[in-house]
Amino acid sequence: MTRRGLVATAVAMLGAGAASAGGVERSAQSMALLFEQGNYAEFALNYSRPRVSGEAPRMLGGAASGNMARSFATFDLGVRGDLSDSLSYAFIIDEPIGASVQYPEGTGYFLAGSNARIRSTALTGVLRYRFDGGFSAHAGLRAVRTRGEVELFNQRLPGGTYSMATNTDTAFGYLLGVAWERPDIAARVALT
């Protein structure tokens, strides 16, 4: 690998490491919706204003980054209903992963002006079957649509900039779970 390629790879890795410092999971997708009674719908809107900053190593100038995490909002929407006394369903739309990073300009930080973003939307459909004795099982399918882009600015990079945008990708998966409930003592143990 040439020295230019090594420098570009190192800068990209540093940027990627900083971008994941705040984490990318934004929704734990609770299955509590399945355990509600009758027809039920819920909507949640969450707003976060994270503060993430750091300092570059001395060999890269040692400057402080400033707050590089942007504010973001996420939503969750779920509906649930009964198909029979023992069988129920739920549909959930949420934004399970995401990142929004922007290094402020004018800080002297080696990645000043750089930014990255990951966005996703998931649709989950779940069926739950209730057995006698408080036991139940649930299973479902999930589709997650994700996309991202990054722009790195640094005079040490060949050409000074690096840009990349992913194709929008849709991935499919499944979920399986079991639960035990005893409403008279408000007990529930569920594993998904």
Convert the pLDDT of each residue in 11-52 to its tens digit. 444 444 444 434 677 776 788 899 999 999 999 998 989 899
User: Considering Cα of 14, then 15, then 17, then 22, what sign does the dihedral take?
Assistant: positive
Mean pLDDT, residues 104-114: 88
Report pLDDT for 14: 46
**Mean pLDDT, the chain, as a whole number?**
85
What would the pLDDT profile of 123-170 be if each residue is shown by its tens digit? Answer: 999 999 999 999 999 999 999 999 999 998 887 777 788 888 989 999
Q: Which CATH architecture has domain 3-191?
A: Beta Barrel (2.40)
pLDDT tens-place string over residues 71-82: 888 899 999 999
- Give the Cα separation of 117 and 134 in Å (integer): 44
Q: Which of 33, 123, 46 shows the shortest CA–CA distance to 82?
A: 33
Over residues 95-105, mean pLDDT: 89
Say how many C-beta atoms besides its own lie within 10 A of residue 160's C-beta: 10
Q: What is the pLDDT of residue 24?
A: 78
Q: How far is CA 190 from CA 34, 35, 167, in A?
A: 11, 10, 36
pLDDT for the residue 143? 96
